[in-house]
Amino acid sequence: MIKKQLVFDGNEKQVFATDDPDKVIFRYKDVTLAYDSIKRARFDGKGVLTNKISAILLGYLNKNGISTHFLEDVGEREQLCRKIEIIPLEVTWRRRIAGTLATLLGVDDGYPAPNTVVDLQYNNDELGDPVINEHHAVALGLADYGEIEKMFSVARRAGDLLEALLHRAGIELVDMKLEFGRASDNGEIIISDEISPDTCRLWDESTGERLDKDRFRLDLSDVVSSYRIVLERLEKLKI
């Protein structure tokens, strides 16, 4: 596979074209953002860790019948992926209510919900990625009802699979943000972008220590060390 021109240069990742029109290469940067990009920092080696963690988790979903854009690692911080048409929606799977949603609902951060919450956000930085419902999404022409139901169903299955996997590593999956796209090769709606401590809340089951981007959001330090703990525990599972 030949890496060609840069087609997207984001804050945390770059995307390159390849000699296959239906495949791209994702390159993970060392940059970390929070609070709608207001807070940012660079942590050496963070991109390598997020690439490797995401490759393990996306690969695990692929093996268990959930289609993602991930195909294979092609370098320490690069992945070969299926090209997709982005659907500007985020689906969040939540076992606990944490972060901004806890503030919005007036509950303690980490509130243990009696149900699994799956919600929808409009991926629009100018609007602050607002929580919306499926009727809003259809009204805006972002997706149809069938597509949204598929995204919800996939998110539930993916959350259950990864929750059980991470439990084996002594890590609680508190919540997880998923993005979706339409694959350019066959139009299938698949999970796109990464699944990593940047997009999940991951807590040590024994200590409650946060092993995810909240370390950056909340100025808890040791961001790279925490991501490395997640990677090492996943690698020990020999998935």
CA quadruple 122, 128, 131, 135: dihedral positive or negative? negative
Q: pTM for the whole thing?
A: 0.96
* Residue 37: pLDDT over 90: no
In the chain, the domains with their CATH numbers are 3-82 (3.30.200.20), 85-222 (3.30.470.20)
Alpha-carbon separation of residue 153 from 85, 129, 135 (angstroms): 20, 21, 17
| Beta strand pairing call for 39-42 and 131-132 | unpaired
- Could you report the per-residue pLDDT of 106-130, keeping only the tens digit for each? 999 999 999 999 999 999 989 989 9
- Could you report the per-residue pLDDT of 138-182, keeping only the tens digit for each? 999 999 999 999 999 999 999 999 999 999 999 999 999 999 999
Write out the DSSP string of 95-119. Answer: EEE-THHHHHHT--TTEEEEEEEEE
